[in-house]
Structures are given as structure tokens and as C-alpha cells.
Chain A
């Protein structure tokens, strides 16, 4: 029993080590020429723009739901005026970044794992190497960088759509004007509530891209392996995002202490 547990733990640590080295190598390759701007832009479009409808719809819905819950709580204390600010802080600090990362992990992580896995089993990755193209840089580093660039942009979109959703919910109940709602929403928002949490999603992008690319490029056992890489990309990147988020939140508290 203990031996099995020990072996499983060692296996997990070995896997995390391999993925970490893969991610570090990607970060290094991003900084070294030749750069692949066309590929990066193409992937930012694929990852970012094509995820936008999902992210926008989710952000709007979350804004509506958060607004309804916040109202139910604050009404008891006669603090309805705090609803926009409470919603904005909750969205910017945590809900927006985390939800966006998990949505993108589901939509993009699976896609990257499946696409690269299929390329691996059909020898397209070998074919890239055979025409003297660095497959790691061309396929992995570009996708990982694109994830890192797209996540903060998508998070900002989630936040904005969440604010709009909150306004719609609030206006329906209380008839509050957009100007008043907007002013109240940003009355308590500080630099540390928006910028660090939004930028931390670049780390989530690094995780999504790295896990997807690693599992895709190390796929074996044919189409079954491709399916497994796709599923595992979503599961493992989601778990890692949630765990790493704890560390990042703590880091933000340390680096950007509250001014009030």
C-alpha cells in the first residue's frame, strides 16, 4: 500500500518535473531568435478571438448571478449601494481570472493536446524536423506564448462583461442608471484589485499551453493516445490552475499590500 503510494507520488513528481522543464524551455525559446510572429498572431487569434464569445457569455452570466447573490446578502444590512463595488472587486480579483482560465483550459487545452497529438501520431512533427524546422519552437513555444498573451485580454473581457451583466441585473431590480452603477462599481477598486490579478492569468496561460503542448507532443498509442492527451490536458491544467492560483493570490497580497 505505502509502496504503491510512494511510487505514485514519485511518478507525479517526475511528471510535474518534466512539464516544468518543458515550460521553462518554452520560455527560453520565446526569447531566442528566430521569432515566429506570424504563428504567435495566428494562435492568439485561434485561442483569443475564437474563445471570446464563450468568455463574453460566461462573464455576462456570472455578473448577473453575482449581482443577484450580492443583493440577497447586502439587502439584509441595507447596503444595496455597495452591490456594484462588491461585484467589481469580486470579479476583478478572483472570479474573472479564475473562471476565464478554467474556460480556456477546457476549450483550448483540449484543442492543443488533440492537435499536437494528432500531428505526433501522423508523423507531422517529424516532418517539420525533416524540413529543418525546430518543431518545439514552431509548435509549442508559439502556442504557449499565445496563451500567455490571450489570457489577460480574455480576462479583461470577462470582467467587462461581468460588470455589464451585474448592471443589467441591478437595473432590472432597482432601475439604477449606468453612470451611477459604473461610478459605484469603481469606487473601491484599487490598482491591486485589477492589474496583478489580470496579469497573473499569463501564468495560467503558461500552464494551459505547457500542459497541452507537453501531452500532445508526447502522445503515443495512436488515436487512443490523442483522445487521452486531449482529456488529460483539460483535467491537469485545470487542477494546476486552481493550485497555482493559491500561491499567486498569496504572492499578490505580499507584493501589493492593501492601501486602506
Chain B
């Protein structure tokens, strides 16, 4: 496992409220490069909001978010774009572009950010779809796919540019156990190739399998952090209960 001394991602005392409701409360964490970091927690505790801070879709009210040493909230648009090109993001609901085919969704980042010929772009897009088990779905429209297939297509799009950092929001939600295991294996493979992973999940077995480090958010604060074994032995009853709930 590759570990760079500098954190690939660092959140420094980040706070965020929406309409007066505190979602993140003085959150600090760092993710070393080339590791897999799993963010756990009950629904509505700010996990997805944390991911959106990392990719710069949401700006913190207070604090800083550093990606590869750059403060994403302070970057001008062009430089933020350059940082985002090194990241992939799988949205909770996949967020596929519904006016273009599944294959073109995956090809979209390649068309925007490379000058490759069309043939090569299609080949790479097909290969990414094959990685998530959707090799035959290139021509289908997103509306023709099931929820789990859409999720996998979203993951293929997130991987299209071979990002240094992959942010995935509940990658196994809506998938059957076998496909979920395949996706986990794919994420582990990406991590072993040096990709930094941040995964939001409720799936504890998946977090144990993929994550080098796990952390639990509760009411916008980090209440536990460590290996799966560390969290199993946590002093906090909520953390232990969450880790046990894996049936």
C-alpha cells in the first residue's frame, strides 16, 4: 500500500450550516495519498456534504479543505477545474446525464479533457463500463437501466480520467451482494494502483473490505476514527452498535 507523507485530502476545522441547521461542526480529518478512507454514519450526518466539500461543490462557512495541498474553496474557477480533473466523483443517485447514452456519459469527461480521437475515447469508455460489468450497455439510455446499473455507470464515469482521488458516495447501495463484492474488489484494485479513495457507505462489510481507515460522523462531528478493529473496540456505544449492524 502506497502512503505519501503529505495528505491527499485534508479538512481543517470545517463547519457548514444550511438554513441555520449545522451539518458539519468543526470537522477536521486527513486522508493519506493512496489509501482508502471510509466515512460512516447515520443518514443526515453530513457524509455526502463532506464529499461535496472535497470536490468544491460546496464551500465551507468556516475552515479550509485542501486537496493535494490546494485550498479548493479559495481556488479560481480555472484552477479548481484542474484539481477536479484529478478527481472522480460518484454521486449517491449516480447523476448520469439523462439526455445522452450510458457510454457517452462515460466518454463525456474524456471528450472534454483529452484530444484523443473518437475511436480511442469509445474504447476507453467501453473498457471502463466493462470494469463495472456493463460492457453491453454502451448504447442504452440511463432511463433504461436499473438503479444499481446506473450506480455502476456513474462509477465508470468517475473512473474515466483515471483520477488520483476517487470520491464515492454509497457505491454498493442498491446492488445485489455479488455485484457489490465485485465493485468492492474494483475499488481495492484501484487503491492498490495508487488511487486515493474516500468512500461514504452504510455497508459495514464493504467498509471493512475496502477501507484502510474508517471514521464515523455523528451530528457533523467525527466521533471515531481508526481501523475497523479500532472502531469495533470503541468506547462509544453508538460506534460499536453501528459496526455490529452488518447483517
Contact = CB atoms under 8 A, between A and B. Distances in A.
Interface of A: 118, 122-124, 126-134
Interface stretch (B87-95, B127-135, B216-224, B227-235): B87-95
25 contacts: A122-B98, A123-B95, A124-B95, A126-B52, A126-B57, A127-B91, A127-B95, A127-B96, A127-B97, A128-B97, A129-B55, A129-B56, A129-B57, A130-B55, A130-B84, A131-B84, A131-B108, A131-B109, A131-B113, A131-B161, A132-B85, A132-B112, A132-B113, A133-B112, A134-B81
Interface in B94-123: 95-98, 108-109, 112-113
B86 to A, nearest CB: 9
Contacts of B82: 132
B84 A132 contact: yes
A131 B157 CA distance: 9
A32 to B, nearest CB: 11
B77 interface: yes
A126 B169 CA distance: 14
Contact of A124 (B52, B77, B97): B97
Interface residues of B, number: 23
Interface of B: 52, 55-57, 77, 81-82, 84-85, 87, 89, 91, 93, 95-98, 108-109, 112-113, 157, 161
Contacts of A122: 93, 95, 98
Contacts of B85: 132
Nearest to A134: B77
Contacts of A128: 97
A84 to B, nearest CB: 45
Given A126-B57, A130-B89, 17 more contacts: A118-B98, A123-B91, A124-B95, A124-B98, A126-B52, A127-B91, A129-B56, A129-B84, A130-B55, A130-B57, A130-B84, A131-B108, A131-B109, A131-B157, A132-B81, A134-B77, A134-B81
- 10 nearest CB pairs, A to B: A127-B95, A132-B84, A123-B95, A130-B89, A132-B81, A131-B109, A132-B85, A123-B91, A126-B57, A124-B95
Nearest to B110: A131
Contacts of B98: 118, 122, 124
Nearest to A127: B95
A133 B96 CA distance: 14
Contacts of B93: 122-123
A130 B98 CA distance: 16
Nearest to A130: B89
A127 B96 CA distance: 8
Contacts of B77: 134
A136 to B, nearest CB: 10
A128 B96 CA distance: 10
Contacts of A134: 77, 81
Given A132-B81, A132-B85, A126 B95 contact: yes
B7 to A, nearest CB: 21
Nearest to A137: B77
A133 B82 CA distance: 10
A256 to B, nearest CB: 41
A126 B112 contact: no
A187 B93 CA distance: 62
A70 to B, nearest CB: 45
Contacts of B112: 131-133
A152 to B, nearest CB: 27
A40 to B, nearest CB: 16
A118 B89 CA distance: 20
Contacts of A118: 98
A130 B97 CA distance: 12
Contacts of B91: 123, 126-127, 130
Contacts of B55: 129-130
A122 B105 CA distance: 15
A143 B216 CA distance: 43
A140 to B, nearest CB: 15
A128 B100 CA distance: 13
Interface centre among A122, A127, A128 (most CB of B within 10 A): A127
